[in-house]
Amino acid sequence: MALTALAAAGAAHAADTFPQPGKAIHFIVPYPPGGPTDLMARMLQPELQKRLGVPVLIENKAGAGGNVGTDMVARSAPDGHTLLLAASGPMSVNSSLYKSLPFNPIKDLAPVIQISAFPLVLEVHPSVEAKTLKELVAAAKAKPDAYNFASAGSGTPQHLAGELFNRRAGVKMQHIAYKGAGPALNDLLGGQVPVMFDVIASSLPHIAAGKLRPLAVTTAQRSPALPNVPTLAELGMTDFDFSAWHGIAVAGATPRPIVLKLNQAMNAIFADPAIKKRWEAIGSPIVGGTPEQFGALVLTETVRLGRVVKESGAVAD
């Protein structure tokens, strides 16, 4: 017990030096409160405070598809005290979607760690006759004007997953862009739009209540949150692997020792079985890894998702 107490005291003392003792960390979420991105930040906040020994303050800086908050971090002091809850939109999609950005995601931000890879679920309103993916594809081909799909807006994961599905399935479901996932989901629940690709965390309660019918998930592996729902790959779309991913980033000029210290703290958080269980409950596996692995993902997805944006003709709302 004494050794444990000494070790804990030593860890707390070491954490107090990160990187400036007593200086708060500002954790920027580039989207409004209430969504999956905000939820992850709030789950991480107390854990980061515990590991780093300084206050962690969450700030929601929404606007322009995540660009406002992301730009705020890109322009921040490179001292590790401003963190970004980095999302695939501003990190890899928006450079193709917008005519210009005030920041360069590759040069102006330093990746710390990937924290999520949310599968999306292809779901339909219960009034839709199709009970399986095969039946939905057949119906969409037979009556192309009758099938629209909702999204949180142009260039969002929900939109790009739908466009990718259109090409893989050989259908032409029309995209209906909403200003946020909440309004899109509400119209799906009300039957105003029949189909949506949505982050599992948002739709899970409605699926459990029988208000939505899941047909497939978009990642190569099944989701622990929906273990009985097959993947699109299992159902014949062998090259379909799509997720809404997130990570932590800091200003691009942040010294590497600070980036590594943040990375180590995050990996330690994700090694906790209780955190892993809570993370999987909101629909994403624990990811973790090195800054280099997250940086490689950003580069690869910028090319891949940029191609989907171009082929779909998507433009910023």
230 DSSP 8-state letter: P
Give the domain CATH number at 50: 3.40.190.150
Whether 104 is in a domain gets the answer yes
d(CA 25, CA 22): 9
Regarding whether 113 and 127 lie in a shared domain, the answer is no
Higher pLDDT, 225 or 47: 47
Mean pLDDT of the region 226-244: 91
198 and 130 in one domain? yes
Q: Is residue 236 part of a domain?
A: no
What gap in Å lies between CA 252 and CA 108, rounded to an integer? 4
Residue 55 within a domain: yes
Q: pLDDT class for 7, splitting at 50, 70, 90?
A: very low
Q: Classify residue 58: in a domain, yes or no.
A: yes
Identify the sign of the CA torsion 263, 51, 41, 219: positive
Boundary-marking domain end, from 178, 201, 217: 217
Question: Is 16 found in the same domain as 96?
Answer: yes
**Which residue range forms the structural domain that includes residue 191?**
119-217
Same domain, 69 and 86: yes
Same domain? 18 vs 106? yes
Query: Mean of the pLDDT values across residues 110-129?
Result: 95
Please compute the mean of the pLDDT values over residues 171-186 and round it to a whole number: 89
Same domain, 6 and 110: yes
pLDDT, mean of residues 215-238: 92
Structural domains counted in the chain:
2
pTM higher than the cut 0.75: yes
Q: Give me 29's structure tokens.
A: 């979420």
Shared-domain flag, residues 252 and 109:
yes
For 248-291, what is each residue's pLDDT tens digit? 999 999 999 999 999 999 999 999 999 998 888 887 888 999 99
Whole-number pLDDT of residue 301: 94
Same structural domain, 6 and 105 = yes
CA distances from 195 to 140, 153, 162, 215, 257 (A): 11, 15, 9, 10, 46
Based on the domain organization, do 18 and 43 belong to the same domain?
yes
Q: What is the pLDDT of residues 141-177, one digit of tens each?
A: 999 888 999 998 888 889 999 999 998 999 999 999 8
Q: For 93, which DSSP code? A: I
Among the listed residues 65, 63, 247, 219, the one whose alpha carbon sits nearest the alpha carbon of residue 152:
65
- Note whether residue 232 is domain-resident: no
User: Could you tell me the CATH number of the domain that includes residue 212?
Assistant: 3.40.190.10
**For residue 130, which of 71, 5, 122 has the smallest C-alpha distance?**
122
With beta carbons less than 8 A apart as the criterion, state whether 61 and 72 touch. Answer: yes
Q: Which of 302, 280, 299 is nearest to 291 (CA)?
A: 299
Asked whether the beta carbons of 270 and 238 are under 8 A apart, the reply is no
Indicate if the alpha-carbon torsion angle 297, 303, 306, 312 is positive or negative.
negative
Average pLDDT (235-241) is 87
Query: Is 177 inside a domain boundary?
Result: yes
pLDDT tens per residue, range 30-73 = 988 877 788 899 999 999 999 999 999 999 998 888 999 999 99
